[in-house]
Amino acid sequence: MIAQTENKVRIEGILSEINITPRSFKRDNNTVNALSGIVTIRVNQPINGVDTELEIPVHVFAAEFTTKGAVNPAYESLTRVMNEYVSIAAGGLANADCVRITSAQVSMNEYYNQSGALVSFPRITASFINKIKRDECKPEATFSTTFVVGSKGYETDSDGVETDKYKITAILPQYGGKVDVIPFVALNRGVIDAVSNYWNVGDTVKATGRLNFSSKTETYTTKPDFGEPMEQTRTISISELVITGGSSTPLEGDFAISSDDVSKALAERKARLAEMKEKAMGVPQKTTTSKGFTDLGF
């Protein structure tokens, strides 16, 4: 079974919004109380040299008791956040608490929509959120991960033209022998040169970088059948993992991830996705075995 690798996210910023709700689920025929939801954190940090305001949604979940029956400290932490912490939405920017998360992780949120298309995007998960003093807060939203390179190359637009953004598809081992297929990007010219020259498909590499969960407004023109063109605006949400550094050579020996383990984990992921699609569409789907990194399960 493929082993979980380094997957660390650190966030410091101002608590923007709290959406945590009580729920319950069954465990061994017993009802277990839990807390789940999203805590949004505002962080200002440079992205490729441009100061950017981020609104980072952090997905949280914790059962009240562990499987051994002990009180879950993560549940206690989320209870304090829900009942005691002040967000920008509730108390305004001046009164909002600053928070620090040191043990969050990157994962993929994946599901099929009603038309049968796979919707997937990176998300951040955490269990512990700690309040800190304002003068201690150093805004930061960074990650450090170890993954296998699944593919790499410049992003192309809808017309097939290459953009300035370089995409790396990462195969990231998670808990329980599963893998997520996660898109990373490189924006800086020096980073792009290093990734394109030194990283190859199948390599185990380490990457560090910054979260870019933000939004931008674009203006575009539509041309009616007759009359004057109309100018309109749209807001685009961004959920990117921007690589700013990493290993210049592949990790080797015990630090390298076995290609056989990766292929098996990708095949299992593809089977899970097929089952998800079957449930979403109500139509049985055939599953196939992954034969390499070019088949990432889509």
Short-list 148, 168, 162, CA closest to 255: 148
Short-list 166, 116, 173, 123, CA closest to 146: 173
Is 75:66 a contact under the CB 8 Å cutoff?
A: no
Q: Is residue 29 part of a domain?
A: yes
- Residue 88 host element (H or E): helix 88-91
Q: How confident is the model at residue 298, as a pLDDT?
A: 43
Please list the alpha-helical segments (H only) found in 134-258. Answer: 189-198
Q: How confident is the model at residue 217, as a pLDDT?
A: 77
Q: How confident is the model at residue 92, as a pLDDT?
A: 97
State the Cα–Cα distance between residues 223 and 230, nearest whole angstrom: 6
CATH of the domain at 123: 2.40.50.140
Dihedral (CA of 37, 3, 261, 249) sign = positive
Q: Is residue 293 part of a domain?
A: no
Q: Is residue 63 part of a domain?
A: yes
Domain encompassing residue 212: 7-281
Q: Is residue 271 part of a domain?
A: yes
What's this model's pTM, rounded to 2 decimal places? Answer: 0.88
Tokens linked to 198: 């030194």
Q: Is residue 295 part of a domain?
A: no
215-225 confidence digits (pLDDT tens): 877 787 888 77
| Total tally of structural domains belonging to the chain | 1
Using CB atoms within 10 A of its CB, is residue 78 exposed (0-12), middle (13-18) or buried (19+)? Answer: buried
Q: Is residue 39 part of a domain?
A: yes
Residue 28's SS3 state is coil
Short-list 127, 140, 257, CA closest to 208: 140
Q: How confident is the model at residue 222, as a pLDDT?
A: 81
Q: Is residue 90 part of a domain?
A: yes
Is 219:229 a contact under the CB 8 Å cutoff?
A: no
Residues of the chain with pLDDT under 50: 298
Q: Is residue 227 part of a domain?
A: yes
Q: How confident is the model at residue 286, as a pLDDT?
A: 55
The beta-strand segments (E) located in the chain are 7-27, 30-47, 50-63, 98-112, 118-126, 130-132, 140-156, 162-173, 179-186, 204-222, 230-246
